C-alpha cells in the first residue's frame, strides 16, 4: 500500500508520460508535491521502485518506467515508456548525500570538440551515481536532444574503456577530440549516432575510436 505522497508522485509521473512522453524533472516533481527539497523526491522514487511501481532504465539519462498503478487509482497498468532520464544505478542509502566529482571541460553533442582536462569539481547528488569512478562534462551542442541531453547540461560519466551496443558513450576520436553519442557497430567499423535527425552518424575505423566512459546520469541547470 502506498502513502498519499507516494501515490501523488506516481500519479504525477504517469500523467506527464501520458501527456507528452517526457518525464518531469526532480524540480518539477518537488514543486508538484509542494516539498522543500529534492531529497524528499529521491526517497519517494526509491520507495516506489522498491515496491515495483516504477524502475529506472539503464544507460539513459534520467530514464523512468511506470510498471503498474495501484488499484485505488482505477487505471490499467501502462506499457513501459522510455524517457530521457537518469541512468539506472544502485542508489546509496543516504539519497541526499552529495559527492564531488571532477568537471573536465566541455563535450560535444554535435561535431567532436576537444574534451579539456581540468581541476574544477562539481557537486552531484549521490543518488545520481552508481559504483565506479565518475567525472562530469558540460554538454555543448544539440545533437543528443532526442535523448533528453541539452546544450549546457552536465553529463555524468562512469569511466570505462568498453561499450555495449546502444550505450551513450564519450568517444575520443584520433586521441584528440571527444564526442557524446550512441555507440554502434557498423560491420567492421564503429558508428557514433546522434539523437537529432539534423545530424549525420559518424563512422570510424575502430583504431580511431577510444571509449572513455559511458553516460551514468545528467544534471540540468534552470535559469
* β-strand pairing of 134-140 with 168-173: unpaired
Is 159 strand, coil or helix? coil
DSSP conformation letters of 1-70: ---HHHHHHHHHHHHHHHHHS-PPPHHHHHHHTT-S-HHHHHHHHHHHHHTTSEEEPTTSSB-EEE----
Classify residue 71 by its DSSP letter. G
Rounded Cα distance, 60 and 206, in Å = 24
Neighbours of 191 (CB within 10 A): 16
Cα maximum dimension of the chain: 57
**Catalytically annotated residue among 30, 86, 181, 214:** 181
- CA dihedral sign of residues 78, 83, 87, 93: negative
DSSP conformation letters of 173-208: ETTTEEEEEEEEEETTEEEEE-SSTTS--EEE-GGG
**Catalytically annotated residue among 39, 86, 143, 214:** 143
30 flagged as catalytic: no
140 flagged as catalytic: no
Q: Which of 36, 37, 39, 159 is nearest to 92 (CA)?
A: 39
Catalytic residues: 143, 181
Amino acid at each position: 500500500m502506498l502513502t498519499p505522497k507516494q501515490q501523488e508522485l506516481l500519479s504525477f509521473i504517469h500523467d506527464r508520460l501520458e501527456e507528452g512522453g517526457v518525464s518531469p524533472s526532480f524540480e518539477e516533481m518537488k514543486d508538484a508535491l509542494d516539498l522543500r527539497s529534492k531529497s524528499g523526491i529521491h526517497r519517494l522514487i526509491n520507495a516506489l521502485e522498491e515496491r515495483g511501481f516504477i524502475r529506472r532504465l539503464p544507460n539513459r539519462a534520467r530514464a523512468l518506467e511506470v510498471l503498474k498503478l495501484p488499484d485505488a487509482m482505477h487505471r490499467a497498468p501502462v506499457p513501459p515508456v522510455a524517457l530521457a532520464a537518469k541512468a539506472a544505478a544502485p542508489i546509496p542509502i543516504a539519497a541526499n548525500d552529495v559527492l564531488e566529482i571532477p568537471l573536465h571541460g566541455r563535450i560535444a553533442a554535435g561535431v567532436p570538440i576537444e574534451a579539456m582536462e581540468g581541476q574544477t569539481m562539481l557537486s552531484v547528488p549521490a543518488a545520481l551515481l552508481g559504483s565506479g569512478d565518475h567525472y562530469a562534462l558540460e554538454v555543448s551542442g544539440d545533437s543528443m536532444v532526442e535523448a533528453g541531453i541539452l546544450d549546457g547540461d552536465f553529463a555524468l560519466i562512469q569511466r570505462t574503456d568498453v561499450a555495449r551496443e546502444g550505450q551513450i558513450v564519450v568517444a575520443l576520436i584520433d586521441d584528440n577530440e571527444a564526442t557524446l553519442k550512441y555507440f554502434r557497430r557498423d560491420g567492421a567499423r564503429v558508428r557514433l549516432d546522434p539523437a537529432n535527425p539534423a545530424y549525420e552518424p559518424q563512422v570510424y575505423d575502430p583504431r580511431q575510436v577510444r571509449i572513455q566512459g559511458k553516460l551514468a546520469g545528467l544534471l540540468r541547470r534552470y535559469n
